[in-house]
Structure 1
Amino acid sequence: MNAPSVRAMSTAASGGPAFGPYDGDPAHTLLTRLTALRERVAALVEHRSADDPTADDPLRGLYLSNDAVQHLLRAWPPGDRPEATTADSAVTAPHATTAADADTDAAGALGALDAAPPHGSAGGRAGRGDRLAWLAGRTRLTELDTALLLIALAPDIDRTFEPLYGYLNDDVSRRRATVGLALDLCGVPPHQAAARARFHASAPLRTLGLLEVEEPERPFLTRSLRAPDRLIGHLLGDDTPDAALLDLLHPMPVPLPAPGADDFVRRLAARLHDGPLTAYLREPREGDGLAALASVLDAVGIDALRCSRPEDHVPELLREARLTGRAVVVSGLPERPGPLVRALTAATDVTVLLTDPRPYDPHWSPADPLILDAPGRLAGGAAAWQAALGPESETFDLADAVAPYRLGGDRIQRAALAARSLAAFDGTPLTAAHVRLAARRQSASGLESHARRIRPDVDWGDLVLPDKPLVQLHELALRARHRDRVLGDWRLSAGGGRGRGVLGLFAGESGTGKTLSAEVVAADLGLDLYVVQLSSVVDKYVGETEKNLERIFTEADRTDAVLLFDEADAVFGKRSEVKDAHDKYANMESAYLLQRLESFDGIALLTTNLRANIDEAFTRRLDLVVDFPFPDAGQRLALWRHGLVHVPSDDGIDPSPLAREFELAGGSIRSAVVTAAYLAAGRGDHVMADDLLEGARREYRKAGRLVPGEAVW
C-alpha cells in the first residue's frame, strides 16, 4: 500500500493543496485530515506485519515467544546497530566476583568514555557530543553506575527495549529494567553488597537525581528502574529546563560596568576557576549582590540558574545544574532559610551562590559557605545606565538624571527598557523625564501601608520663599544626588556604622510652605514623596511604636523615595526627666530613633511648627535645618499672584490691598483663592476682587482673628 508521506500529512493538516482546494466546510476538512491519518496507520501496520511471526497470533501482545524475541532482535536497523563489542556477551558473561570486576564488565558493555571537561570549561555550558560521557566524568560516576543508568533509560529512547525487557523479566507487563535485570546485564551477581549499594538512596545515582528506584514494596531485585525525563531530554540534546523550575527561573542581569568592584570580581572569579564553590554574599542593598555575581560569572564564563524561592524543588534545581554545568544563584532567601541553605550547601559538586541582605547565621547549615560582603552600590551609577540605555542617553545629562536612584540587580535593565517604551509611546526621543519615570516605577515600595504616597506635580517655580531657605533647599537636593560620591568615593562618612542618608528639618509656622517644599525637592530628584501617617506609627503598647518605625525605615532604606515626617514633634520630641513609666518609655522611643537615624540610608525630611520642640540630639544628626519665615507683604503679594495664575479672573484685578491688610501664610492664601474660585464658579463668572476679599476674611475668621474693617460686637 502506498501511504502519504509525513510531509504530505502535515500539508493536509493545514488544509493545503495535498487534498484539493479548501471548500470552507469544517466537517469536510476534518474528515480529509482523518483520511490521511488512516492511510498512514494502515501503511505502518502493513510494514510491521510483513515478516512478524506473531502477526496472526490471537494472543499477540499478551506474551512473547522465542520467535517474537528473535524477530525483535533482527529488526534493529542495520545501519544503526552498534558494532559487536564485549557488550554482545554482557548478558552471558560470567558473574563478576568483586566491585572492581563489576566495573570492568560494565566498561566492556559501554565502551570507552570520553574524558569529562574540567569545571568551568566550554563556558560552563553542557558538553558537546557524548553528553552521557561528559556527565559521568563531571559527576564522577563509576563505570558500573553509567552502565546501570544506560540500561534504565534505554526503553525511553528505543521502544524495542520494552518487549525485550518484558521477556527477560519473565513478565510481559514489566517493560522497564529491574534491579536484578540491570545487574545481570552488567554481569554482576545480585548478592554482591557493593553492587546492590549502587541503588541505595545515598548512592550517587540517586542523590544526584539521575535514577529512580520505584515500587519499594516489591522485593529488591524486582524493583523497576526509571531515568527522569529531564535527564533523557538532556542526553538527547534538549536543554529546556525541568518543568518544575520554569516558574522559578529568572534571567541573570546583564553585567554592567562596576567601578570600584573590579578587585572583588577578579578575586571571586579566580576562586571559581579552581572548582565548585558555595558562597554567601551579604548585600548592603537589594540587588547589589546579584549585580556582583553577574559580573563574576561573566568574567569566569559560567552560565547561571537564577532561581527564586526554590525550597520545594532543590533536587530538580541541583540536577539541572549538574546536567548543564551551570552555577545555582539564589537571591533573596526565605524568612526561615535554614532548610534551603542546608540542602544547597550539601551539594559540594555544584557551584551555589547565595545573596541576601541579612548577615549569615551559622545555625542555617553545619557546612559554612564562603561568606563575603558584596560591594555596595555596585549596580548603580551613570556608567551602568549608559551601558543599558546606549547612545540614546547622550542627548541629556544622564548622570544628573539618575543620581538619586540606587536600583540594583536587573532593575536598571528593566528601567531602561521601560524608558524606551515611554519615549516610543510619546513619539519623542528619549529624555531625562522618561528615564526618571521608569526608574521611579522600578523602585517598588511597601511604604504604602505606613505612609501616604504623593506623586509630585510641582517644581521650583511653585515656591515663593526668601533666598536663604531657597538656597538651602537646593543644597538639600544636591546632597541627595552626590552623597555616594562624597561619603563613599571620597570617604567622608563619619564612620561608626553611619549610613549615607540625607536628613533635613523644616521649621516654621503652619502654612509657610514646609510640606510644599518637601514635594518640590522630591520632584526635583524624580522621586515619590511618602508622608508618614502618625496614626499607623504611634501605638499605646510598649515597644510597638519602635517596631512600626523600624518597618518604615527598613522599607525606606530599600526604596528610592523621600520620607516626610509631618508634625515630627510627635515622635522626635525632647526627652524629659523620668518621673513615671510614661516618661521612661517615651525616652526609649527617642533613643531608638537617635540610633536608627545614624544608620539610615534614605532621604528623610521632618517638619515642625516649633523648632524648640525637637530634641537637640536629633538636630545634631540633621544635615540641614531650614527655617521658613512668615511671609512679608511683598512675599504675600507674590503668593496671591501665583495662586491666581491658572484661575480666570477679571482684568486688572489687584491683590495688593489684600497682601498689605491680611497677614496670611502661603497655605492660608491658597485656601482663600480656592474659596474665591468656588464663589465664582457658583455664579458661572470670573473671580472678582470681592471674591478674593471674602476668601481672605474667611481665613481670618477660621484663625479666630479680627477681620480688618469689620465691627466688633
Structure 2
Amino acid sequence: MDAPPRGFADHWEHLRAEFALLDHALREVARRTRPSLTDGRRPGPVEDDADADAEAGADAEEAEAEAHAGAEADADAADDPPGALAELRAALDQRVAATPASVRLPLARLVAAAGLTPWEVTLVVLCLGVELDGRYTRLCGLLQGDHAYSRPGTLLALDLLGGGLPERAAGRAALEPGGPLFAAGVLHLLQDPRGGPSHLLGLTDRVRTLLLGNPRGPERPWLRFMAPGRTPGDADEPSALRPVVEQLARAADGLMHDGAWAAGPAGTRLVACLHGAAHAELCDTAHRVASRLGTGLVVLDAGAVDRTVSTLADAVREGVLTARLEPALLLVLLPLSGAPGTPEAGERPDAGLDGTVRELAAVLDGSGWLTLVAAPHPVAPPAGTLTPWVNLTVPEADPGDVARRWSTELEAAGIAVDRADASSLASRFRVGPAGIARIVARASATARLLGRPADLPVVEAVARDGSGSVLGSTARRVRSAQTWDDLVLPTEQQRQLRELAGAVRSRGRVLSEWGFGARSPRGRGIAALFSGPPGTGKTLAAEIIASQLGLDLFAVDLAAAVSKYIGETEKNLSRIFAAAAGTNGLLFFDEADALFGKRSEVKDAHDRYANIEISYLLARIEAHDGVVVLATNLERHLDEAFLRRLAFSVKFPFPGAAERERIWRVQIPAGAPIDPDVDWALLASFPLSGGSIRGAVLHAAYQSAAASRPIGTVSLLAGLRRELEKVGRVAVPSDFGAHWAEIARGGIDEAASP
C-alpha cells in the first residue's frame, strides 16, 4: 500500500520541487528541439549543436537528484516514458494538497488565485528561475539559439507546452497581450533585445515579490491593505448605512462559486459604484462590507497612480491580483475630478474621469467576483463592457452617529470627553469610523512619546495632521497661532465672527440631535463672505477662526484654478471642492469676485459659457458640506444669487483712529524691545489699513535690530513712510514734524549702528 503523500515543510521546499520539475521539462524541450537549432527558425547567432547538447544535458543531470527527492521522479530521466512529466506534476500537486493550511505556500496561493494551468505554472517558475539562477538564463539562450535571449520567449513557452498544432495555436493565443496571464497581472511582456517583433516573458513586480517571500508585495503609495474590522453585526453601525452594507454583502455571497472567490465567467462578476458621500465615508462602507464577509479590503487610489512609472491598467491588475491573493475585496478610489463629460478639444483621449473609467472597465472585464468603486457621482461604464456596473448611493454619515463613534473610541483609549466635545469633533473632522480609530491610536502613541497623558488637544492635532494632502498644488496649507486678541474690529464684526465659529462647532448637534438635518436636503456646510477694503483683516480673521476651531486653513491658489479656456475653471474648482469634501479644513478663497462675479447678459457664446460656469459654482458652494470662507474687496461685483446662499456675511470696515492705535499696539510682540515713549497717537493719525500697519511695524523692527536699539517712534514712522510710498502717497515733511530729519535717513542713527 502506497504511503500518503508528504506535505511541504515551507515555501522554499515547494520551490525546489518545482525547479526540479522544470528541469525535467527543459530537458524534454532540448531533446525534442535540438535538431532544429540550425534550421534558421530562431533569430540570432546559432550555437554549436554539441555545445547545446552538453549544456542542456549537464544542467538536467545536475538537477536529477533533487528532482527525484522533490517530485518523486524516476532516477533515469532519459528513460522517462511518455506522460511521465504529467505524473510528476500530479505527484507534486498531491504534496501541495497534503501541506497543512498553517504552512503558507505563495506559489500555491498564486495558482489558486489566478487559476493557473500546469503549463502556466511552468512558465511562472521558469521566469522566476532566470531571476535567481544563471543556469536558467544560459538554458534560455541555448534553447532559443541566441545568448541575448536570456529570458523565455513565446516560442520557448510553446515548446514547453508541447502537443500538436491545435495545442500550440491555443497556447500562442493565450500569450497575446490580452491573454489570461497578462490580464491576471502575473506576467508582462518585455521587448526583444535584438529589436525584433518577438517578445520575452517576465514576472510582474507583484508576483516576483510574492514568490521571493513577501506576501504583501512591493510598497505602493497608491495601494494599501485594511485588515478586517470588527465582527459582523456591529452595534455602532449607522442605521442609514446598514441597508447598503447588507445589500453588498448579499451580492458578494451570490457571486461566489464553488465556495470560493476565484475568477469566474462574466455572469459571476459585478462592479458596484458607490457615491453620495466623501471618500472617507465610502471607504468606511466598503470596509464594513469586507468585515461582514470576514475579509480585508485592498484600497487602490487611481488618482495617486504615477503614470510615468506604471499605467493605470497595470496598477488595477496588481490591485485585483492582491485582492485575490489575500483574499479580499478590492475598492478603487476614482480621482476627485469634475463633472463627467467628454474630453475638451486638444486633451488626450484618456483625459479626466471618463478616461479613467474606460481603463478601469477594460481591466475589470477580465477580473472575478466583486469590485467596489468610490466615485464623486454615478458612473456609467463605456459601451460594450461585459461586467455589469451598478450605482449605489451611500448616505452621508449622520453627525450624531459620528459623534457617538468618537465618544466610543476616545473612552476606550481612556481619553475623557463630554458630549459637546464629541459633537465638535464630528463637525470639524470628516473621517469614517476606521479613520477615527486610527486618529485615536496615533494620538495615544504621540502622547506616550511626549510623556504626557492623551487628551483632546493631542487628538485634534493628530486629526489636523492627516488632512490636506489631497488638495495638492491647488491650495496651500496655512497654520496660525493668532487669537481673537490679535484681531482689531468693531464689536459687531467681532460678534459675527464668533457666531460663525460657534456655528461650526455646534452644527453636528443642530443637524442631528435637534433634527434640522432632515429639513436640509442640500449641503450641510457653512459658507461665509468677508468683504471690505484691502488690509482690513479678512485673511487674518479666517486664520483665527480656523485656529480656534482646531482646523487648517487651505488658501486656494487662484492662479492655478482660473483658466482662460472655456470650462477649465469649472473643472479646476470642481476638483478643489471634491478634494475638500474629504479634507479636515477651512477652504479660503481670496478675491472671490474673480470667481463668483455677476452673470451678464448673453451676447455671445463666451457669455453663455461664463454664466453656466458661475451657476455651476454657485451650486457647488451650496452643496459643499465643509466650511468655506470667501473674501472680496468688491462685494458689489458678486452675483446676488450667490449672496443669498451665504450663512454669514461680515463687512470689514476701514479702521478709524482708535482702531488704528490698537492695531499698532498689538502688532508688536511682548518679547520685542519697545521705547516706552512711542507716540501712538501720531502713528494712528495716518489712515493706514491693518495690513499696511503690519508691514510698517515689521520694517521698523528690522531697522531697529540693525541699529541695535529698541523700536521707537522714529523707526515706526520710517516704516510708515515706506507703506505710504507703496500706495502712491508722497510723504510730506510737515506730517512728521521734528522727526523728519532722522526719518529721511531711513530712521537709523548712523553713529549708533554697529
Which TM-score bucket, shorter chain as reference?
0.5 to 0.7
1:266 to 231, 242, 246: 246
Map residues 5-84 of structure 1 onto 2, 5 A cutoff. Answer: none
* Shift in CA distance, 454/195, structure 1 to aligned 2, threshold 3 Å: closer
1:201 to 174, 194, 200: 174
* Shift in CA distance, 426/503, structure 1 to aligned 2, threshold 3 Å: same
Match of 2:285 in 1: 292
* Shift in CA distance, 206/226, structure 1 to aligned 2, threshold 3 Å: same
Using the size of structure 1 for normalisation, the TM-score is: 0.63
What's the CA shift string for 1:195-246, capped at 9, x where partnerless?
997997399999879999xxxxxxxxxxxx9999999999x99782567x87
Instruction: Answer whether contact 2:184 2:367 (CA < 8 A) is retained.
Output: no
Question: Could you tell me how far apart the structure 2 residues matched to 1:612 and 1:441 are?
Answer: 38
Q: Do residues 655 (structure 1) and 648 (structure 2) align? A: no
Instruction: Give, as a single letter, the amino acid of the residue that structure 2 aligns with 1:303.
Output: G
Instruction: Give, as a single letter, the amino acid of the residue that structure 1 aligns with 2:536.
Output: T
More displaced, 548-557 or 461-470? 548-557
Match of 1:368 in 2: 388
Match of 2:590 in 1: 566
* Shift in CA distance, 155/418, structure 1 to aligned 2, threshold 3 Å: closer
Instruction: Give, as a single letter, the amino acid of the residue that structure 1 aligns with 2:396.
Output: G
How far does residue 79 in structure 1 lie from its aligned partner after superposition? 11
* Shift in CA distance, 672/254, structure 1 to aligned 2, threshold 3 Å: farther
Q: Do residues 352 (structure 1) and 331 (structure 2) align? A: no
1:492 to 517, 542, 562: 517
Instruction: Answer whether contact 1:504 1:625 (CA < 8 A) is retained.
Output: yes
Instruction: Answer whether contact 1:573 1:614 (CA < 8 A) is retained.
Output: yes
Q: Do residues 279 (structure 1) and 258 (structure 2) align? A: no
Instruction: Give, as a single letter, the amino acid of the residue that structure 1 aligns with 2:371.
Output: V
Q: Do residues 240 (structure 1) and 215 (structure 2) align? A: yes
How far does residue 524 in structure 1 lie from its aligned partner after superposition? 1.8
Secondary structure in structure 1 of the residue aligned to 2:586: strand
Map residues 43-442 of structure 1 onto 2, 5 A cutoff. Answer: 201=174, 240-241=215-216, 249-252=223-226, 255=229, 258-260=237-239, 261-274=241-254, 275=256, 276=261, 278-283=270-275, 284-307=277-300, 311-312=313-314, 321-322=323-324, 325-332=327-334, 336-338=355-357, 340-347=359-366, 349-363=368-382, 365-377=385-397, 381-382=402-403, 391=413, 393-394=415-416, 397=421, 400-401=424-425, 403-407=427-431, 415=439, 419=443, 422-423=446-447, 426-442=450-466
* Shift in CA distance, 307/537, structure 1 to aligned 2, threshold 3 Å: closer
Larger radius of gyration: 1
Instruction: Give, as a single letter, the amino acid of the residue that structure 2 aligns with 1:281.
Output: C
How far does residue 445 in structure 1 lie from its aligned partner after superposition? 4.0
Flag structure 1 segments of 5+ consecutive residues without an equivalent.
Answer: 1-58, 85-89, 95-104, 117-124, 163-175, 184-189, 213-224
Instruction: Give, as a single letter, the amino acid of the residue that structure 1 aligns with 2:252.
Output: L
How far does residue 443 in structure 1 lie from its aligned partner after superposition? 2.0
What's the CA shift string for 1:359-388, capped at 9, x where partnerless?
322217232134323443499945555677
Question: Could you tell me how far apart the structure 2 residues matched to 1:406 and 1:199 are?
Answer: 52
Using the size of structure 2 for normalisation, the TM-score is: 0.60
* Shift in CA distance, 592/156, structure 1 to aligned 2, threshold 3 Å: closer
More displaced, 257-266 or 510-519? 257-266
Question: Could you tell me how far apart the structure 2 residues matched to 1:239 and 1:281 are?
Answer: 31
* Shift in CA distance, 304/550, structure 1 to aligned 2, threshold 3 Å: closer
Q: Do residues 462 (structure 1) and 486 (structure 2) align? A: yes
* Shift in CA distance, 597/331, structure 1 to aligned 2, threshold 3 Å: closer
Identical columns (%): 33
* Shift in CA distance, 182/692, structure 1 to aligned 2, threshold 3 Å: closer
How far does residue 620 in structure 1 lie from its aligned partner after superposition? 0.3
2:639 to 599, 605, 615: 615
* Shift in CA distance, 237/300, structure 1 to aligned 2, threshold 3 Å: farther
Question: Could you tell me how far apart the structure 2 residues matched to 1:706 and 1:226 are?
Answer: 76
* Shift in CA distance, 242/408, structure 1 to aligned 2, threshold 3 Å: same
Instruction: Answer whether contact 2:272 2:370 (CA < 8 A) is retained.
Output: no
* Shift in CA distance, 473/326, structure 1 to aligned 2, threshold 3 Å: same
What's the CA shift string for 1:599-618, capped at 9, x where partnerless?
33443222234543433211
Instruction: Give, as a single letter, the amino acid of the residue that structure 2 aligns with 1:259.
Output: P
Instruction: Answer whether contact 2:73 2:88 (CA < 8 A) is retained.
Output: no
Question: Could you tell me how far apart the structure 1 residues matched to 2:435 and 2:546 are?
Answer: 21
Question: Could you tell me how far apart the structure 2 residues matched to 1:280 and 1:513 are?
Answer: 48
Secondary structure in structure 2 of the residue aligned to 1:394: coil
Match of 2:711 in 1: 687
Question: Could you tell me how far apart the structure 1 residues matched to 2:562 and 2:612 are?
Answer: 13
Instruction: Give, as a single letter, the amino acid of the residue that structure 1 aligns with 2:387.
Output: A
* Shift in CA distance, 474/194, structure 1 to aligned 2, threshold 3 Å: same
More displaced, 454-463 or 430-439? 430-439
Question: Could you tell me how far apart the structure 2 residues matched to 1:534 and 1:133 are?
Answer: 54
Match of 1:40 in 2: none
Question: Could you tell me how far apart the structure 2 residues matched to 1:596 and 1:633 are?
Answer: 41
Instruction: Give, as a single letter, the amino acid of the residue that structure 2 aligns with 1:492.
Output: G
Q: CA RMSD in A?
A: 6.2
Question: Could you tell me how far apart the structure 1 residues matched to 2:357 and 2:649 are?
Answer: 46
More displaced, 543-552 or 363-372? 543-552
Question: Could you tell me how far apart the structure 2 residues matched to 1:306 and 1:436 are?
Answer: 26
How far does residue 504 in structure 1 lie from its aligned partner after superposition? 0.7
* Shift in CA distance, 278/482, structure 1 to aligned 2, threshold 3 Å: farther
Q: Do residues 593 (structure 1) and 617 (structure 2) align? A: yes
How far does residue 288 in structure 1 lie from its aligned partner after superposition? 2.7
What's the CA shift string for 1:81-132, capped at 9, x where partnerless?
9899xxxxx96899xxxxxxxxxx9999779989x9xxxxxxxx97979999
How far does residue 522 in structure 1 lie from its aligned partner after superposition? 1.7
Instruction: Answer whether contact 2:413 2:444 (CA < 8 A) is retained.
Output: no
Question: Could you tell me how far apart the structure 2 residues matched to 1:567 and 1:635 are?
Answer: 24
Instruction: Give, as a single letter, the amino acid of the residue that structure 1 aligns with 2:538.
Output: K
Question: Could you tell me how far apart the structure 2 residues matched to 1:354 and 1:696 are?
Answer: 58
Instruction: Answer whether contact 2:424 2:508 (CA < 8 A) is retained.
Output: no
* Shift in CA distance, 707/269, structure 1 to aligned 2, threshold 3 Å: same
How far does residue 426 in structure 1 lie from its aligned partner after superposition? 4.3
Secondary structure in structure 1 of the residue aligned to 2:709: coil
More displaced, 285-294 or 195-204? 195-204
What's the CA shift string for 1:3-53, capped at 9, x where partnerless?
xxxxxxxxxxxxxxxxxxxxxxxxxxxxxxxxxxxxxxxxxxxxxxxxxxx
Instruction: Answer whether contact 2:476 2:554 (CA < 8 A) is retained.
Output: yes
Question: Could you tell me how far apart the structure 2 residues matched to 1:292 and 1:617 are?
Answer: 36
Secondary structure in structure 2 of the residue aligned to 1:287: helix
Question: Could you tell me how far apart the structure 1 residues matched to 2:476 and 2:535 are?
Answer: 19
2:553 to 529, 532, 535: 529
What's the CA shift string for 1:279-306, capped at 9, x where partnerless?
3233432333222222211121123444
Secondary structure in structure 2 of the residue aligned to 1:251: strand
What's the CA shift string for 1:171-207, capped at 9, x where partnerless?
xxxxx99999999xxxxxx789899979973999998
Instruction: Answer whether contact 1:282 1:360 (CA < 8 A) is retained.
Output: no
